[in-house]
Chains A and B, each alone.
Chain A
Amino acid sequence: MSMNSILGVFAKSPIKPLQEHITKVHKCAEHLVPFFKAVYANDWKKAANIRAELSQLEKGADRLKRELRTNLPKGLFMPIDRTDLLELVTQQDKIANTAKDISGRVLGRQLEIPAPIQKEFIEYLIRCIDTAGFAVKAIDELDELLETGFQGKELQIIDNLLTELDTVEDTTDSMQIALRHSLHGIEQDINPVDVVFLYNIIEWIGDLADFAERVGDRLELMLARS
């Protein structure tokens, strides 16, 4: 009987799952802050617990990603391009994957962050996660954008958010350079292998912001195309 009704025409909206996905991804990245606080305190047990939570969130994000993909068959008529949407969720997912990799690497090696750069390091981390926060805000506007038929002031709101995202991402770049410089200053006192991995971790944290920026780019492209 259900096929008989006109409401079969309406397919599940991809916007809500997309928003859920990026919210989860962002939450996943946010777990890195308490994680590193535990690392600073040398509380590896607590760090392992937080890492387990983070991993759980990442799995949840993966599930949402798969769900979104399977709910997006070819025969859908949408106001946004299907390939753009798929690309968007792929980029979003990379943020969660990176967060998981960072925590895994640090925990696996019991990698300590040297005391002189600890403050600078956590500020940098928070800034990078903030960048992802702007991506969340922009994606969160999508249902409002749909309400206004992809035009008008909502488009402006998203545009402003994306400009802010870019600005924040730029500051993370300069923060990364400064942090690397500080690390360079103290690296003769640290185990050389650890130094290599510290540079690695700093780079990966920067990737969080980079992927967030790519989410913004994709979104911009998607909206420009339409």
Chain B
Amino acid sequence: MITALVTAILIWVMPMFIGTYTLTVLVVYGMLGLSLGLIWGFGGILCFGQAAFFGLGAYTYAIAAINIGESTIPMVLAVLVPAIFAALLGAMMFYGRLTDVYLGVITLVVTLILFKFINSTAGPQYVIGTARLGGFNGIPGFQTLNLPGNPDAYIWGDSYFYVCAVLMAVVFLLVAALLRSSFGRIAIGIRENETRMALMGYDVRARKTVLFAIGAAIAGLAGALFANWGEIVTPNLFSLSQSAEIIIWCIVGGLGTRVGPILGAAGLAYLKFLLGQQSVIDNTLITGLILVLFVLFLPKGIVPAVTGLWKVSFASRPLGRVHQQRRMRQRERFNG
């Protein structure tokens, strides 16, 4: 209820400060941040290739939209294709009992494979249906979002922002519900202690695979929304720097929280947008510096730090320290 209210106010107020065109992409990035925040912060799965699912969603949408000429089915496919791809990839990794570094290598390598492959498809022989893959040039000129069933009624500009914002709110509420459900609690249990959960009779491999696929579905949806916003998809969506950014958003915002990754994504993307308007200091340099500084000095991220402070100052009992310890322990576990 409160979430819905806060969201409604945000959707109403924010366009007064920032143009809806920019806001739309911030919302989309927020959703992408949430997708990794879910599987990493609550499932303990560090994926170095979340961008792969983002790109896959965007490309699926673009290709399907060109072939179908209407946006409803492509939107659905853009969620399903990354989810199925992630389910297969996840099954391969988790049933092979791969953990931390190896998980990192494989997700990173798979992202690279997709990047290299898509990049090399500039030739006219690479077509899916009537859509040319276009290699490094990307795919422009596909049907953008329209009212379901009416390909001529485009949703764009301010209305597109509202569609994205509402979808973001819906995804957020679904994630919240998921985390409150048994599935979510069991996922957190697995993050905390995989062996114990297996000894209690839970099939850790299957559950991690499902969670991984859910994360990919959200990333895919974000990808499709991004494709609609940019009206072109390029191989850069799959790039390692895109993957790095998603990880940075989560770290800066705060792992193990739902709003952290969203705020981290929107905040840093907006910062990048502002920095892009000056040319004194290179953008990448600042992104890198932020990541290093956060890992060194504020490894649990902004949101937990702020809520911790809040609790120290206002709560009768100093919960903040406990939360800090909890986060630190989680990190230690990630670090094997």
| Co-assembled chains A and B | no
Give B residues with C-beta under 8 Å from A. Answer: none
Give A residues with C-beta under 8 Å from B. Answer: none
